[in-house]
Amino acid sequence: MQGRSNEAIDRLYADALALEAAGAVAIVLEGIPREVAAEITARSGVPTIGIGAGPGCDGQILVFHDLFNLTFSPPTKFTRRYADGAAFFANALERYRDDVTARTFPNDAESYHLPREVREQREALQDRETLEHREAVQYCEAQQRLVELEPIGKA
């Protein structure tokens, strides 16, 4: 927080006057005592916007993440939370994780599907590959039995 001593208050007021003289169209007052912000606002010829500077400013700023409690940390003194976005998002993430873990997301309606004709062609191809694989395994097993039956080298 700024503006806690008379010297600091005088510097803030001088800075505000300098900004106004330089052509500023507004001044943001952040983290200063409300009494100081009200005094600067009363003396200023341009609007003041407060963020943690009390209600005496011409306007207010509240950061979106603070407004909706999306910071997941303790709020600053001047923050008022208008919704609990952290709980909202945490709940949604937990439900999503649970659905993925349980393999209920995505479900059939949430999935793309092959056209029926392509699916049938793929199934027929897989059936052929399964049959060819089975035949290859049987051939290898038969060859293995033959090797076991052949006498080992004649001396």
3-class secondary structure, 94: helix
Can you read off the two tokens belonging to residue 68? 């909706």
Taking the C-alpha atoms of residue 53 and residue 66, their distance in angstroms, rounded to an integer, is 16
Q: Which residues contact 80 (CB under 8 A, 6 or more apart)?
A: 62
Examine the residue annotation and report whether 30 is marked as an active-site residue of this protein: yes
Of the candidates 7, 20, 30, 39, the residue annotated as catalytic is: 30
Q: For 48, phi and psi rounded to 5 degrees?
A: -110, 140
3-class secondary structure, 28: strand
3-class secondary structure, 154: coil
Q: Which residues are catalytic?
A: 30
